Structure 1
Amino acid sequence: MTASRPAPDFVGYPEVRRGVRALLGSRAGVHRRPVPACPEWTVTDLLGHLTGIAERVLERHGGTVPPAPAGPLTVPELLDRWDDVGEDLDRRLAEAGGRSGEVMVMDAYTHELDLRAALGAPPPAEHAAWAPSFEVLVRGFSGSIAGRGLPALRLRTTGGSQRTAGAGRPTATLTAPAHELYRALAGRRSPAQLAGLEWSAVPGPWLPAFSWGPFTPPRSPGV
């Protein structure tokens, strides 16, 4: 899975919002459903997180967050608020250029995948947010490998694309479908699932590196 053409990192953000709205708009009564990839959250909690992140990033880019209605917001209200904030944010990120908003986009796309898993919906075949979000994950994982003094690792999708994580020449290769590799780097695969992927060497030395930044592999199999 890749973006159809190179694009600034923020370009996938509207597509995430559209995807989440489509998922929730076609499924009634799921607001209290748990999200296994985020064990303490329901669908509503996840959507509240996405909206809150957008509000904070908008303020950092000089925007004004609209006043929130009193009391807890419903899923439709959260979707509308996220779009209202997101449309302003899209313009500001476009003006900022570069890698502005890249972590926010990665977080949002990762949670779209969490939501899809919770609702039994397949991951998208293609998505504009995949490639820039994957690059954010590779950089974070690369820092984790280097910080632990581990040899570099080649990351290869079954589609043929590859990246190097860590410093120097890779001494081993991890190969997986693009979606599985993404979920692995985003802390959504257990140590057993990670070890069960296709490795060219014994995976044990690299498994601790999958805990980095906000990500920690779950003890039980992830989704």
Structure 2
Amino acid sequence: MTATRPVPAPDFVGYPAVRRGIRALLEARPGSGHRPVPACPEWTVTDLLGHLTAIAERVLTRHGGTPPPPPSGPLGVPALLDRWDEVGAEVDRRLAAAGGNRGEIMVMDAYTHELDLRAALGVPPPAAHEAWAPSFELLVRGFSGSLAGRGLRPLRLRTTGGSTWTAGTGRPTASLTASAYDLYRALAGRRSLGQLAELEWSEAPEPWLPAFTWGPFTLPAVPGV
């Protein structure tokens, strides 16, 4: 897999920006904790925030840290935001000490969920974000492995803004073009089969559609946002 630009280093560079972004989103919308998140059908906003906090605790433990004692009961949005910031700040320090090259999955997961929250709350995606480039690169690598594992021809991935990647093994003879947002959401399992087919393909997309199910990602049954 090749790309037209390097991945920013260290890999966790966007993690504090995601935490700040999600805090700003939710503090501006008090009482949104019970709101459903369509991209994560079984979750509310509170559930999603609990997931992000739990991932941070898991990463901290993996890198030799100790999360704060578990709460005695369910936490609401304000308390979860504070706990995530506390744990996340220690994760940032430990990843920096380790060279900063081990946090890419955590960052991609967090940024993807920030986009999920924005969609659930009717807030447009940010015009620019520190987590976007490393997260996109990780998604392209995963999709590239999915193509290769299924023996599918490589694809040239293009954004309407002019960025390009090669996914799969070999020289691509077909391409997929979409806005940066739609391409990201497609690679992250947030686009249905119908939505994928409606993107700009240089030839019939059906052979490649199964490859969008990979790793933790499965395609939604209903159109995603």
Determine if the TM-score, normalized by the shorter chain, exceeds 0.5.
yes
Structure 2 residue corresponding to 1:81, chosen from 78, 83, 96: 83
User: Tell me, what secondary structure is at the counterpart of 1:194?
Assistant: helix
Q: Where does 1:1-223 land on structure 2 (aligned, <5 Å)?
A: 6-223=8-225
Deviation, structure 1 residue 181? 0.4
What SS class does the counterpart of residue 157 from structure 2 fall into? strand
Deviation at 1:29, TM superposition (A): 1.2
Question: 2: distance between equivalents of 1:99 and 1:137?
Answer: 16
Paired amino acid for 2:122: G
- Normalised by the size of structure 1, how large is the TM-score? 0.96
Instruction: Write the letter of the residue equivalent to 1:125.
Output: A
RMSD of Structure 2 on Structure 1 (CA) = 1.2
Measured after TM superposition, the shift of residue 171 of structure 1 is 1.8
The letter for the 2-side match of 1:46 is L
Query: Unaligned 5+ residue runs, structure 2?
Result: none
> Cα offset for 1:98?
4.9
Distance 1:74 1:159, change over 3 A: same
Unmatched 5+ stretches in structure 1 = none
Letter in 2 for 1:151: R
Q: Which residue identity is paired with 1:172?
A: A
Q: How many aligned positions are there?
A: 220
TM-score, structure 2 as length reference: 0.96
**Residue identity opposite 2:224 in structure 1:** G
SS of 2:13's partner is helix
Spell out structure 1 runs of 4+ moving beyond 6 A. Answer: none
